[in-house]
Structure 1
Amino acid sequence: MGPPDAEQRLLLLYTGGTIGMTTRADGALVPQDFGRLAAHLRDPDELPVGVTIAAFDDPIDSSAIRPGRWLDIADAVVELAGDHTGVVVLHGTDTMAYSASALAFLLEGVDRPVVLTGSQRPLGERRSDADRNLYTAGAFAALRDGAGAPVVPEVTVAFGDVLLRGCRSRKVSADRFSGFASPDLPPLAHAGVSLEVTASLVRAPGTGGLRRTGGLCADVAALKLHPALDEHTLTAVLTRPGLRGVVIEAYGAGNGPSEPWFLRALEAATASGVVVVVTTQCDSGAVRAGQYATGAALFETGAVAGADLTFEAALTKLMALLDRHPADEVRRLLAVDLVGELSPLV
């Protein structure tokens, strides 16, 4: 596995987030002009590769992101990637796992690394993790094998000392520098004295050229089960005008209430064409239809088991599939591993 090569060139795309923020007079962090970060990156000693820097005109705090922004990011990657050997997307941490999952389902023919990263503290602050994350992401994006091929041609998240598959990543801490994890899939790589990649986990590069051919359906909702959930709340969610899909975060391996009002509401929703996918509230593990009696009743309503999909992956996969397919095909494809979002035989 060869080191990054100075003849390579990376695309660095700034979308917003803490890494490029500055402190306002009242102490709050707000997005700032990208020039400071760009100037920092133009130091030739900072990265062992050439860098093309691009930025959105309106960088945002990632907590303000909307589905349309995911399309904009995907389109920017496709438009600007060109002959760059890798892409680094600078993004806020709050919704980075959502964006990484969305990009994994939106981008087709991924034949080079597309690495998302950010930081818990802004660049330039004392003890900031921004430098470390930025240059680790760049190193992974530039990593080539002995034949010159990209080592990790996937959508990934680089944070702390790990490289995670984007559609398996989750933000697990609001303040630790090791803020992201992949509970049901080991990291694709670790960054220490050297970059250590577990090649057996990495997906093969895509073919046909980097592209986006589909969009996202935003007519979706999410509902987390809890003991105080009542019929009024459930009905309000499931009868929203135009609703096409719902992600339910259930207990354990896919369990939920067995009261008639709960099951009737779900059955009515699925009968009307709404796709209901069930994930687990647990940090790891999988939803298995029918493992417990309460779970069996839930899936008899027509809901689909989400296996070990993260909530972020379940939501964005549902949105991508609903944009392309009718409900029955969406239900089928939710159980199919499309971009590495599901573990085998779960």
Structure 2
Amino acid sequence: MRAILLLHTGGTLGMMPSGEPASLAPGRFLDHLLEQVPELGQMASLSVEVPFNQDSACVEPGDILALAARIRATARDFDGFVIIHGTDTMAFTASCLGFLLADLGKPVVLTGSQRPLAFVRSDARSNLVNAVDLACRAVPEVGICFGTHWVRGVAADKLSVHQFEAFQSPNLPPLAEIGAEIRLHPDAGRFEHRVPAGLDGGLDLDIHTVTPHPGMAWSVPPSTARAVLIQAFGAGNLPMGRADLGAFLRHCEDRKLPVVVTSQCPYGGVDLSAYEMGRKIEAASAISGGLHTRWAALAKLALVLGAGGGVEEVREAFRTQWAGEPMPGEAWPQA
């Protein structure tokens, strides 16, 4: 059988009916999983580690870097990896790991649930079985297995707080469709690794993030900010006639702060050449986030900043596909 390392980091899946976490001693937690889902023992030779146990809203950059480091350190010992993770920040963790582990050559499958495994009616059981199955299939991808799909981590976003189909991949077809059989996309595991060297040492999240709304006043970023991420309207539009927005962008340019623009719309992404407002933003030295999700954009920006990069390094990062994230003009056919 395939050797699979299961890393439990917390979240809803491992909770008891009382709302308390299950026993966290690795051996006891494995016993708990096998009691609830005995078929896991027939699917793979499972080992369990509990690097941390917390609500995913509390995940810090160091936690994600520690996960990446642990997976790299044990890559020779296991055929695949499953990460149990809370849903709230799973897409961000999956985006970071998708870049950090793009060259691993083995499957890394993140999963969780909307209801605990110990509940009678829960999505945890099927998500866990499917995640272990995918981890055994030698498809070198980092992705989220949830509901009836496995989606690439650097293209994923959370869709719902209560539906079992909780995650989506808005601008890239799923890696796999999960039903009576698991149907892998023919291009799953096929992407060119272009993550620059030296980007695994830090995630600098001193990033000023802005989600504008009509009539919003624009205040300059705090002095500690090293970059700005704007989730703009539509294809990347902002109210460029506002004097305070103009001052905001000039301030960023003077401070040499990279300004990356993504879209509030999950589908379609940013095209700063499409409308006059977008062209004015581009003329103010802003960088198009293209089809990057908000989480992939944040992860890529944090990795570049963590390696000491500035405006030009960020600009290059967002016009380069690092790990199979969707890019304008690089369509991936439907399965």
TM-score, normalization by structure 1: 0.87
Q: 1:33 to 1:246 in 2, by over 3 A?
A: farther
Question: What is the alpha-carbon distance in structure 1 between the residues aligned to residue 156 and residue 290 of structure 2?
Answer: 15
- Structure 1: 5+ residue stretches without partners: 1-5, 144-149
Q: How does 1:163-312 map to 2 (within 5 A)?
A: 163-204=150-191, 213-231=200-218, 234-235=219-220, 238=221, 240-258=222-240, 259-312=242-295
Contact 1:110 1:205 in 2 (8 A): no
Cα distance in 1 for residues equivalent to 2:236 and 2:266: 13
The CA distance in 2 between the partners of 1:201 and 1:247, in whole Å, is 30
Unaligned runs of at least 5 residues, structure 2: 331-335
- How much identity, in percent, do the aligned residues show? 37
How far residue 106 of structure 1 moved from its aligned partner, in angstroms, is 2.0
Distance (whole Å) between structure 2 residues aligned to residue 175 and residue 129 of structure 1: 11
Quote the residue 1:336 is aligned against.
Answer: 320
What is the aligned partner in structure 2 of residue 132 from structure 1?
A: 126
> What is the SS of the residue equivalent to 1:277?
strand
The reply to whether residue 319 of structure 1 matches residue 311 of structure 2 is no
Q: 1:139 & 1:205 partners in 2: Cα distance?
A: 25
Q: Does 1:38 align with 2:30?
A: yes
Aligned length: 320
Instruction: For 1:335, give the aligned amino acid.
Output: R
Distance 2:293 2:115 in 1: 26
Alpha-carbon distance between aligned partners in 2 of 1:39 and 1:261, rounded to the nearest angstrom: 59
Give the Cα–Cα distance (whole angstroms) in 2 for the partners of residues 37 and 279 of structure 1.
40
For 1:48, the equivalent position in structure 2 comes to: 43
2:77 alignment partner, one of 73, 83, 87: 83
Alpha-carbon displacement from aligned partner over 1:303-338 (angstroms, at most 9, x marks no partner):
101011000000011000112223212212112110
One-letter amino acid of the structure 1 residue matched with residue 23 of structure 2:
D
Of 63, 67, 79, the residue aligned with 1:69 is 63
Deviation at 1:64, TM superposition (A): 1.1
Offset at residue 204 of structure 1 (A): 4.7
Matched residue, 1:146:
none
Q: How far has the Cα of 1:130 moved from its partner? A: 0.5
TM-score between both structures, scaled by the size of structure 2: 0.90
Q: Could you tell me how far apart the structure 2 residues matched to 1:326 and 1:84 are?
A: 37
- CA separation of 1:242 and 1:292: change in aligned 2, threshold 3 A: same
Q: C-alpha distance in 2, partners of 1:75/1:116?
A: 16
Q: Aligned Cα RMSD in Å?
A: 2.0
Moved over 4 A (4+): 204-207
